[in-house]
Structure 1
Amino acid sequence: MTGLLRTPFDRAQLKNGLIVSVQAPEGSPMRHPDVIAAMAEASLRNGALGVRLESPEHIGAVRERCPDALIIGLWKRTWAGSSVYITPRWHEIKAVWAAGADVVALDATDRVRPDDERLENLVSRARTELGAPLMADVDTLANGLRAAALGCDWVGTTLFGYTEATAASSPPAWDLIQPLREQLPTATALICEGGIASASSAAEAIQRGADAVVVGTAITGVDLQVAAYRRQLDMQTG
């Protein structure tokens, strides 16, 4: 099954857009493909520009239910000897694309990848062999600029605060958005992802220079949201 878009939205089409990350942790009843597809449809019906989905199974389920959806796809897989887990290898890139994603998201940090695969080779193969638009999930300004130079169509702040180099920082990546927008090529879309927990924060990301915003846990993270409420209530005394 393949996607319908197959070419990236340009920056004008992404303007002020909301992309909903529809994911659920392992073991959660929310992780069923039918549940993911229903949440994706609800998001799209209520104004989401697109959805960001994890795993070929979920991408396929949403593509079947929402054939015209803009789908940003990824596949989280862990490997010994590497901290890269978002679409880490060529195998995962091919699987995400074949499942029906319109844009493939992948870790574009400078960390060692599984099987010693190199980012520049993956980007080149994705572009030449698949014609797949890519979203680079980055953590720093340098890695964002490198990803764009290699040919990634979108750059997202997804991994700011989640890598060894940025462990002392917490998302949202407020201090990263403006320099990225100022230094990225004009045609490269800038996506703010990570730590956006309210509509006002999403609006601030746009004001700071992002073309679109990805929101996940605050909208679709039932497991994490309920657990957070429970923890806060358990802290109350009297």
Structure 2
Amino acid sequence: MNDLLERLRGGLVVSCQAYGDEPMNDAATMTKVAQAVVAGGAVAVRAQGISHLESMREVLDVPLIGLWKDGKDGVFITPTLEHALAVARTGAEVVALDGTTRPRPDGLTFAETVRGLTAQHDVLVMADVSTYEEGLLAAEAGADLVGTTLSGYTGYTEKGDGPDLDLVARLSAALDVPVVAEGRVHRPADAAAAVAAGAHCVVVGTGITHPTSITTWFADAVAAAVTDRTVN
């Protein structure tokens, strides 16, 4: 597993996810997206959903960071031990869990979930956290990687325009385990800044693999420019 961490070091991980009734939300389509980002230089793929992970595992030769989103509020990123075990059974080398201090649906703590998972599967655990304190606690509880994924997405954190580089820097300075920069990394400059802040690797999702969001950014910019031209 140390070799796996070395494969991630200084690399770009691409999150290939679609949601709900979006046209791209099927295993075959997202697997093609995953193959495309690997061809472009991604050192690993982060993906969610059992069927998607199983499909990707059949064709990808890079590590998979797997998760299972279930629900919309509170803890919904691989929220229970059973979810985590199911993700591990797909062949994902890393299982991503909500690493916040919020209560989990099955009543287990994060540490209990990590112990239950690693007792049955030889996988690494990535903790998705939202604060510095949660990052420290997650590492202490056995997380192999700590990601800033949820900064700005919990009720007690503030959402900025870009990645939480301050959190990346603070956690990187404090932890012995690798810190993964994730969340609102929308431009190449954001990814470079995250590495400069100390990130072991960087995860980019929406800015590469979610065309609906990317199209909205451009459409809004064009609409604003048209409005400015009309006013002036």
State the partner residue of 1:83. Answer: 74
Q: Is the 8 A contact 1:137 1:157 kept in 2?
A: yes
The residue type equivalent to 2:135 in the other structure is G
Question: Does residue 231 of the first structure (1) align with residue 220 of the second (2)?
Answer: yes
Task: Report the 3-state secondary structure (helix = DSSP H, G, I; strand = E; otherwise coil) of the residue aligned with 2:156.
Answer: helix
Q: How far, CA to CA, are the matches of 2:134 and 2:3 in structure 1?
A: 22
Alpha-carbon shift at residue 174 of structure 1 (Å) = 1.0
The residue type equivalent to 2:20 in the other structure is E
Q: Deviations over 1:164-187 (max 9, x none)?
A: 1203555411111121111112xx
Q: How far, CA to CA, are the matches of 1:73 and 1:217 in structure 2?
A: 17
State the partner residue of 2:186. Answer: 197
Question: Does residue 19 of the first structure (1) align with residue 13 of the second (2)?
Answer: yes
Q: Taking every aligned residue pair, what percent have the same amino acid on both sides?
A: 37
State the partner residue of 1:146. Answer: 137
Alpha-carbon shift at residue 94 of structure 1 (Å) = 1.0
State the partner residue of 2:169. Answer: 178
Q: How far, CA to CA, are the matches of 2:144 and 2:25 in structure 1?
A: 29
Q: How far, CA to CA, are the matches of 1:41 and 1:10 in structure 2?
A: 19
Question: Does residue 106 of the first structure (1) align with residue 97 of the second (2)?
Answer: yes
Q: For the structure 1 residues 192 and 34, does the alpha-carbon distance in structure 2 shift closer, same or farther, using more than 3 Å as the test?
A: same
Alpha-carbon shift at residue 229 of structure 1 (Å) = 2.2
RMSD: 1.6
State the partner residue of 2:209. Answer: 220
Task: Report the 3-state secondary structure (helix = DSSP H, G, I; strand = E; otherwise coil) of the residue aligned with 2:62.
Answer: coil
1:122 to 78, 95, 113: 113
Q: Is the 8 A contact 1:103 1:135 kept in 2?
A: yes
Q: Deviations over 1:168-216 (max 9, x none)?
A: 555411111121111112xx11100001111111011101100100000
Question: Does residue 47 of the first structure (1) align with residue 35 of the second (2)?
Answer: no
Q: Is the 8 A contact 2:9 2:200 kept in 1?
A: yes
Alpha-carbon shift at residue 10 of structure 1 (Å) = 5.3
State the partner residue of 1:38. Answer: 32
Q: How far, CA to CA, are the matches of 2:215 and 2:59 in structure 1?
A: 27
Q: Deviations over 1:29-70 (max 9, x none)?
A: 11121110111011111211000001111101111122x221
Q: For the structure 1 residues 10 and 35, does the alpha-carbon distance in structure 2 shift closer, same or farther, using more than 3 Å as the test?
A: closer
Alpha-carbon shift at residue 230 of structure 1 (Å) = 2.4
The residue type equivalent to 1:144 in the other structure is G
Q: Is the 8 A contact 1:8 1:153 kept in 2?
A: no
Task: Report the 3-state secondary structure (helix = DSSP H, G, I; strand = E; otherwise coil) of the residue aligned with 2:203.
Answer: strand
> TM-score scaled by structure 1?
0.90
Unaligned 5+ runs, structure 1: 1-6
Q: How far, CA to CA, are the matches of 2:164 and 2:197 in structure 1?
A: 10
The residue type equivalent to 1:129 in the other structure is Q
Q: How far, CA to CA, are the matches of 1:22 and 1:37 in structure 2?
A: 8
Alpha-carbon shift at residue 219 of structure 1 (Å) = 0.5
Question: Does residue 74 of the first structure (1) align with residue 67 of the second (2)?
Answer: yes
The residue type equivalent to 2:137 in the other structure is R
